[in-house]
Every structure is written in C-alpha cells, then in structure tokens.
Amino acid sequence: MSGETSTASVNKKKIGLALGVGTVRGFAHIGVLKALQEENIPVDYLAGSSMGAIVAGMYSAGVPVEELERIAKSFHVGKVANPSFKKSGLLDGEKIEKFLNKHIGHTSFDQLRIPLSVVCTDICTGDEIILADGSLKKALRASASFPGLFSPMHYAGRILVDGGLVNPVPASVVAGMGADIIIAVSVMRNVKQYIEYVLKKRNKHSFTQEHEKALSTANLIKLRKPSIVGLFRSLRKKTWTPNLVDILLQTVYIAEERIARSELLNVRVDILITPDFGDVAMFEFSKTDEIIARGKKETESKIPRLKELLEK
C-alpha cells in the first residue's frame, strides 16, 4: 500500500500558478485560490508580479485563503499609501512595508510552504529580476512599487520597481520552476475598456465608430502606429483631457498589456484565467467582493479542463 502511495506521489503532476498585475483587480487571485482549494487541487509553484506577488507571497507564507479574503474586504488605499516628499514617487512605501510586516513578519523564502518566485524590474537596467531568497517582505514591497506612484525599493545593490514592467503575467517563471501544468491568471483590462470606462465615469463623450476601429483588438495586438496616434489625436478633440495620473497609469497599462500578450504567445500556458474587469478602476476597493467572486467563477469554469490535464 505504501508503495502505491509513493509511486502516486512521484508521478503527480506539478501545478504552477502565475498571478499577474492588477492593483485592486488583483484580489481576483484570492478567488482563484479559493476555487482551487474547494476542489482540493494543490498548487506546487507560485510566481507573481505586483499585486499578484502580494497575494502569492502571503499565501505561500501560510496565510489561509479565508484570511486573505478578510484582509482584502477590509482593505483601503490608506493602509498602504502615504504622501512622499521624495522625487522618485508620489507615495512612500513605508505603509506597504508595515502592512506586509503585520501579516508575514520577517518570513524568508526558505520558510515558505510553497516555492515562490517574485518578479521585479531593475529600473536602472530594465532587467527582469526574479527574487527567490532572502526577505519575503522586501521582495513583495519591490514587486509592488508601481513606477512613479510608489517610491522604488533599494535591494541587493539594485533599484527595483513593479515586476509588471517586464513580466506582467509570469507564466515563464513558473515554467522555469519546473511546473508540469501552468495556470496563468491575467486580470488586466485592455486599453479600449479603460478609456471607455474613464469617459463614462466622468460623464463625458462616448466613442465614435472611428475610435472603436482605432482601438479594435486586431489593432491593439499589432499595435499599429497609425491606430495609436489616431486614438490620441481624436482624444485631444474631446473636452476630457487626461491628467498626470491618468497618463501615468495608461502608459503603464499599454506597456504591460503589450508585454503580456507577447509573453503568453511564447510560453506554454495550459490554463489561462482572464476575468473581465473593464468596469473596475485602479483603487475601487468598494468592489472587492465582486472582484473575488469573478475570479472564483472564472476559475471554476476551467476546473474540468484542469482535471483532464491532471489525469493524463
């Protein structure tokens, strides 16, 4: 009997879960973990960028899904954001560190119950930096340092910021960790959805057919210059003008989506989970319940396929 158990353990397929960027939409990752837990499907490897790193890090450190959900539902931006007088970011990262310290303390990577890789960006070189040893708190703080918004993290001789700049949905990272089955979770909204949402939110103008064409999925995938240039020319004709934060966020969203699409086309992904969050703003914490529920529901729809892969 023990021989059979040992063989099953040796032959078990390893699941790697890549959790992507997404600010408040990243709480959907909790719903993903919740759905997998309810089906008794274990995660063997975790990788995360930005908010995905925060959720993955806390979970791998032993924070139960139920506790993650409770934390998310009581969360507000004031818990991690405080004005900074530094030139490197509008907000300091001190509160993020206090938040992480409260929930994971001085946990190091070698104490984690699930192997974890945290993706960061070296803002000086543009290199993808994968942290998998040392202080978990510092690694998560670095990966969540949204450029221009939060001040960067000085760590191991580097200046690190949000991992989403180089790998928004780190499927390639869990693949490199040895996963047999790769699950990637992307909670990014596309450019078209974001601008439509902003215009609607501010009770301004809706898009014309010309705008729809410029922002078509095909054009976004190809990122044809005339379409992008035409988009911003047409936006300038509107009464709404993006402010500094709008421009900063949109610039990063465009870059991250382009990188994510390219990465996911070049990496084997067995299960891609993509909840729709076109109507959720960056810091819209009032929708946390709904966000978690959407993540769980989308994952549940993928469970039959995942079980097929596990049984092959």
CATH number at residue 86: 3.40.1090.10
CA 153 to chain centre: 18
pLDDT bracket for residue 241 (50, 70, 90): low
Residue 214 belongs to a domain: no
Q: Is 162 a catalytic residue?
A: yes
Task: Identify the residue with better confidence: 240 or 67.
Answer: 67
What pTM was computed for the model? 0.78
Highest mean pLDDT among 135-149, 255-269, 294-308: 294-308
The answer to whether residue 145 scores a pLDDT higher than 70 is yes
Instruction: Check pLDDT > 50 for residue 173.
Output: yes
Spatial distance between the Cα atoms of 291 and 88, rounded to a whole number of angstroms: 31
Evaluate whether residue 117 is within a structural domain.
yes
Task: Tell me the mean pLDDT in the region 174-184.
Answer: 97
The C-alpha atoms of residue 65 and residue 266 are separated, in whole angstroms, by 31
88 and 69 in contact (C-beta within 8 Å)?
A: no
Total residue count of the chain as it appears in this document:
312
Q: How many domains does the chain have?
A: 1
Asked if the structure places residue 82 within a domain, the reply is yes
More confident position, 164 or 262: 164
C-alpha separations of 153 from 112, 183, 247, 283, 291 in Å: 22, 29, 23, 22, 28
Tell me the C-alpha distance between 61 and 110, whole Å.
10
Provide the residue range defining the domain that includes 75.
2-189+268-311
Residue 279 located in a structural domain: yes
236 — pLDDT class (breaks 50, 70, 90): very low
Q: Is the pLDDT of residue 230 over 70?
A: no
Task: Write the CA distances from 68 to 73, 179, 281, 300, integer angstroms.
Answer: 9, 24, 21, 19
d(CA 238, CA 248): 19
Q: Which residue, among 50, 49, 46, 76, has the nearest Cα to 61 in the 3D structure?
A: 46
- Helix 136-143, helix 51-60: angle, nearest 10: 160
Residue from 135, 162, 186, 270 carrying the catalytic annotation: 162
Dihedral sign (CA 156, 157, 160, 166): negative
Query: What tens digit of pLDDT does each residue of 248-299 get?
Result: 677 777 778 778 877 777 888 999 999 988 778 777 888 999 999 999 999 9
- Scanning the chain, the segments in alpha helix (DSSP H) are 2-11, 28-38, 51-60, 65-73, 94-104, 136-143, 171-177, 191-201, 209-214, 217-222, 225-236, 244-266, 288-300, 303-311
Q: Chain-wide mean pLDDT for the chain?
A: 80
Flag whether 259 is in a domain: no
- How far, in Å, CA of 192 to CA of 214, rounded? 9
Establish if 146 belongs to a structural domain: yes
b/e 199-221 (16+ beta carbons within 10 angstroms → b): beeeeeeebeeebeebbeeebbe
Residues 6+ apart with CB under 8 A from 262: none
pLDDT digits (tens, 9 = 90+) for 78-89: 555 555 545 554
Distance separating alpha carbons of residues 238 and 24, to the nearest angstrom: 29
| CA pair distance 26, 75, nearest whole angstrom | 13
Residue 180 lies in a domain: yes
Asked whether residue 90 is assigned to any structural domain, the reply reads yes
